[in-house]
Amino acid sequence: MGALAEQQMKPARVADRTAPWWQSAVLYQVYPRSFQDTDGDGIGDLPGLMRRLPHLVELGVDALWLSPIYPSPMADFGYDISDYTDIDPVFGTLADFDALLDAAHRHGIKVLLDLVPNHTSDRHPWFEESRASRNNPKRDWYIWRDPAPDGGPPNNWLSEFGGSAWAFDPATGQYYYHAFLDAQPDLNWRNPEVRAAIYDVMRFWLRRGVDGFRVDVIWHLIKDDQFRDNPSNPDWRPGRPPNESLVPIYTADRPEVHEVIAEMRRVVEEFEERVLIGEIYLPIERLVTYYGADLSGAHLPFNFALLNAPWHARRIAQLVDEYEAALPPGGWPNWVLGNHDRPRVASRVGRDQLRVAAMLLLTLRGTPTIYYGEEIGMADVAIPPDRVRDPFEKNVPGIGVGRDGCRTPMQWDSGAAAGFSTAEPWLPPGPDSGRENVTNQRGDPGSLLNLYRRLIAARRRHTALTRGSYEPMAASGDLLVYVRRHGRERVLVALNLGPEPVTVSLRGDAAEGRVLVSSLGDRDGEAVTGELYLRSHEGAVVGLDPAETHGEA
Ligand code: NOJ
Ligand code: MG
């Protein structure tokens, strides 16, 4: 079947009454500042997102996660919130948000918000009260400590964005803790009033119809109650981010955080069919504890293992095995290739491997998240020094921590600002936007964009790809092969991670089938018998013929 035929047949997702929607969904992260500007200020906005909804409908994604759109001084581009229950004027109004939510829902697309409960902006009225005096009723909403005997910070805790995590407040003679910028004071999650306030924020949006949250740095919420110094990290070397010189055992991943997450989960469950996703950068064995005891935690603790995995077949197969084995019973997996904090996949694995990466993301067992622009292969953009906006890069310059390069405007067409804006965009569009853009790729059946569409369509058609088990088959040299199985349906995925062509021999009851999706779009429908030849950097999704021995439904 040709590429276009595959796209046009878009059957409704097979209803699975027992499984929640987010298990078979494809999530799509939008960085709203960079998606589409409509008011000519060079910054993306909600009406822009509304205008580009057809792109997301055509792509076939099931849910959008929007990075923060709340009122913010934008010291950390919205991750410093000064009002949790409104929309920043740069993005639009609550009415714009309601209209977007409504339009998305009419297209069957869910909308998730970014919840940032770990810290507020220092301009949030809660912090303004808290810092007003030592006996202000909100003093204990944040983390205040006396200076050390020498007048310095209370302990050695470091900010993720460079320097001490403690900022001195001369007016009240104490330090406050900030895991990120000093303009982002951490809330005190040991205080029940803080918890109640954020749970009310969640209810505000859930009542409005929001389908769930991605919770920012959820593993940071609770800090050591004894404020012990973090130990030093013997593996740290100059040139690595300065905060990594300590092992953050007392500032993150504290045991009591799981109680808090379970409470958040209960708030989400006051409403039907909502999802709680947690941002967590931890090794797999720690990550999976965030499903919570008896799955009382996050529905999806984000799995970032692929963000820094070496791009080798055996290494990837190993980490999939490790992750699959570590999941608690009933814990649903998920996969991520990129986000607004990390180098883009195109820059990590190289353009040649983008199709293989897409195929991997969309055929592994679990919920995939696509980062905007990934579907057209956007790469990190080199940011000239005078255009740096990211506070992390400004505070810790020159060692490659800057995040502006992965946050550049979506490349819609070959126009001046890539179709993103009529003005100078807040960050420069990619130099390749004249060629690599949505308009060009839409018209090319063999494009990366159309591969994403074909893969997402194949997920809708083949339950094995969404609900099926994961069975590793081979990982040697540059070849990675696995099977997804659901009842009698079996789908084989074969990926060539290198430039040399390779022949996969298929044996026994996995010997015959038909190509469902080929990475270049020119082999869909091809019959497969006994072996599958893969060209340089090629991948194929093959529907295997039902085997007699697997007749049980
Ligand atoms: C994680 C977010 O993804 C990142 O962009 C932000 O700077 C920090 N949390 C602080 O909120
Ligand atoms: Mg704008």
Q: What are the pLDDT digits (tens) for 346-360?
A: 999 999 999 999 999
CB atoms within 10 A of CB 59: 18
What percent of the chain has pLDDT above 90? 94
CA of 453 to the centre of ligand 2 (A): 28
Output the pTM of the full model: 0.96
In a domain, 11, yes or no: no
How many A from CA of 35 to the centre of ligand 2? 10
Nearest atom within ligand 1 for CA of residue 341: 5
Structure tokens at 266: 């209960």
Ligand 1, atom 11, residue with closest C-alpha: 79
Which residue bears the tokens 């769930």? 212
Question: What is the mean pLDDT of the segment spanning 35-51?
Answer: 98
Structure tokens at 121: 């902006």
Note whether 281 and 265 are same-domain residues.
yes
pLDDT in tens, 447-495: 999 999 999 999 999 999 999 999 999 999 999 999 999 999 999 999 9
Active site residues: 216, 270
Same domain? 167 vs 265 = no
With beta carbons less than 8 A apart as the criterion, state whether 332 and 366 touch. yes
In a domain, 356, yes or no: yes
165 and 53 in a common domain: no
- pLDDT score, position 321: 98
pLDDT at 457: 98
Closest ligand to C-alpha of residue 392 is 1
User: For the chain, what percent of residues have pLDDT higher than 70?
Assistant: 96
Side chain identity, residue 520: L
Q: What secondary structure does DSSP assign to 121-187, as a single string? A: -TTSHHHHHHTT-TT-TTGGGB-EEPPPTTSS-SS--B-TTSSBSEEEETTTTEEEE-SS-TTSPBB
Q: Are residues 248 and 369 located together in one domain of the fold?
A: yes
Instruction: Indicate whether 382 and 325 sit together in one domain.
Output: yes
Q: Report the chain's mean pLDDT, rounded to a whole number.
A: 95
* Ligand that lies nearest to the alpha carbon of residue 90, given by its number in the listed order: 2
Q: Say whether both 234 and 113 belong to one domain.
A: yes
> Residue 450: CA atoms inside 13 Å, Cβ hemisphere, count?
23
Cα of 109 vs centre of ligand 2, distance in Å, is 23
Q: Report the atom number in ligand 1 closest to the C-alpha of 79.
A: 11
With tokens 């018998």, the residue in question is: 529
Q: Per the domain annotation, does 531 fall within a domain? A: yes
Which ligand 1 atom is nearest residue 119's CA?
11
* CATH code at position 488: 2.60.40.1180
- From residue 181, give the alpha-carbon distance in Å to each of 119, 185, 191, 408, 484: 10, 8, 22, 22, 44
Residues 135 and 253 in one domain: no
Residue 182: band (very low, low, confident or very high) from pLDDT cuts 50, 70, 90: very high
Instruction: Report the separation in Å between the CA atom of 97 and the middle of ligand 1, taken as the mean of its atom positions.
Output: 22
Residue list, ligand 1 pocket, CB within 6 Å: 76, 79, 116, 180, 216-217, 279, 340-341
Residues 135 and 282 in one domain: no
> Do 265 and 316 fall within a single domain?
yes
Centre a 10 Å sphere on the Cβ of residue 95 and count the other Cβ atoms it contains: 10
Tokens of 79: 């991750």
Q: How far is the CA of 48 from the centre of ligand 2 (A)?
A: 8
How would residue 546 be classed by pLDDT, with cut points 50, 70 and 90? confident
**How far is residue 33's CA from residue 18's CA, in Å, rounded to a whole number?**
37
Q: Are 415 and 495 found together in one domain?
A: no
Q: By alpha-carbon position, which residue is closest to atom 6 of ligand 1?
A: 79
Q: 285 and 312, same structural domain? A: yes
pLDDT at 510: 86
What is the mean predicted confidence (pLDDT) over 11-24? Answer: 73
Burial of 476 (0-12, 13-18, 19+ CB in 10 A): exposed
Report residue 159: phi and psi, to 5°.
Answer: -75, 145
Task: State which amino acid sits at residue 166.
Answer: W
pLDDT digits (tens, 9 = 90+) for 190-239: 999 999 999 999 999 999 999 999 999 999 999 999 999 999 999 999 99
- Determine the pLDDT at residue 351: 96
pLDDT for residue 485: 97
Ligand that comes closest to the CA of residue 420: 2
Separation of 212 CA from ligand 2 center, angstroms? Answer: 25
- Cα of 67 vs centre of ligand 2, distance in Å, is 15
Domain count, the chain: 3
| Test site for ligand 1: of 33, 79, 213, 407, most ligand atoms within 8 A of the Cβ | 79
Q: Does some domain include residue 12?
A: no
Is residue 6 included in any domain, yes or no? Answer: no
228 belongs to a structural domain: yes
Number of the ligand 1 atom closest to the C-alpha atom of 339: 3
526 neighbors 515 (Cβ within 8 angstroms): yes
What's at 505, amino acid-wise?
S
Structural domain boundaries, residue 333:
20-117+191-454
Ligand with smallest separation from the Cα of 424: 2
Q: Mention every residue, 6+ apart, whose C-beta is less than 8 A from residue 230.
A: 156, 157, 158, 246, 247, 248, 249, 250, 251
Residue 12 clears pLDDT 90, i.e. is over it? no
Reference 342, options 31, 13, 25, 26; nearest CA is: 31
Query: Ligand 1: distance of its center to the CA of 326 in Å?
Result: 26
- Domain contains 173: yes
Ligand number nearest to the C-alpha of 423 = 2
Nearest-CA residue for ligand 1 atom 2 is 216
To test ligand 1's pocket by mutation, which of 65, 341, 396, 407 has the most ligand atoms within 8 angstroms of CB?
A: 341
Residues contacting 395, CB < 8 A, separation 6+: 161, 162, 163, 181
Whether 7 is in a domain gets the answer no
CATH of the domain at 396: 3.20.20.80
pLDDT value at 17 more than 80: no
| Tokens (6 digits) for 275 | 């999802």
Q: Is the pLDDT of residue 442 over 80?
A: yes
Q: Are residues 251 and 347 in the same domain?
A: yes
Atom of ligand 1 nearest to the CA of 403: 5
pLDDT in tens, 121-180: 999 999 999 999 999 999 999 999 999 999 999 999 999 999 999 999 999 999 999 999
Residues 6 or more apart in contact with residue 15 via CB below 8 angstroms:
none
Burial of residue 119 (CB within 10 Å: 0-12, 13-18, 19+) is buried
Predicted confidence (pLDDT) at residue 324 exceeds the cutoff of 60:
yes
What is residue 223's three-state secondary structure? coil
Q: What is the CATH number of the domain that holds 160?
A: 3.90.400.10
